[in-house]
Amino acid sequence: MERGVIARRYAQALWLYATERSSEDEVYAQTLALVSVFSGYPALRRVLESRRVAVQKKEEMIAALLKNEGQSSSVVQRFVQVLVKNNREEFLREICLSFQNIYRREKKLLNVSLTTAAPLQKQVQQAVGKKIESATGKKVSFSNEVDLSIGGGYILRWGTYRIDASVAGRLKQLRKKMLER
């Protein structure tokens, strides 16, 4: 069976389990922490996929990761036990990402990333967030990243949308047009 299908099925089960216990916000926070850990330690995925590592060790390792992140709910602990029992621990990262998608869809939450060449003031961030909220009808979770390489302007991302109004982006477009002629 395809990895994405397995991850979505388990994520949907986790969503139902978490909502029954009114702990979907807590589980969402834990999935964010776990995905962050996976990003920081690429070898972790190989360890979870390895058949040489004992199942009990994998379960202990995941529990330790959650404790290190300061997050450990009974819902996620129980879910990890089910994953390990069904030999699906290697899908943990994909399940977390799928759960986050379900959470955002159900809570009408939109992650917005604004990349600028200099840090933005809170007032400007709030104004941009309100503009996007009114346009989409969703609550905005906003992050501002600073990247000097864009030269100026901004790059705005949310969902599948990307608006590149950066100096680097404009120069790239100009170069492309010149090469086409």
Residue 70 has pLDDT above 80, yes or no: no
Band (12; pLDDT cuts 50, 70, 90) = very high
Tell me what pLDDT residue 8 has.
94
Q: Which has more confidence, 34 or 14?
A: 14
152: left (phi over 0), alpha (psi -120 to 50) or beta: left
Residue 140, classed as helix, strand or coil, is strand
pLDDT value of position 95: 94
Whole-number Å distance between alpha carbons of 68 and 102: 25
User: Average pLDDT, stretch 13-24?
Assistant: 93
Question: Which residue bears the tokens 């604004």?
Answer: 114
Edge to edge, the sheet with strand 109-116 lists: 139-146, 109-116, 154-158, 161-164
Strand, helix or coil for residue 97 = helix
User: 106: pLDDT confidence band, cut at 50, 70 and 90?
Assistant: very high
Most confident of 8-12, 60-64, 165-169: 8-12
Q: Does residue 57 have a pLDDT over 90?
A: no
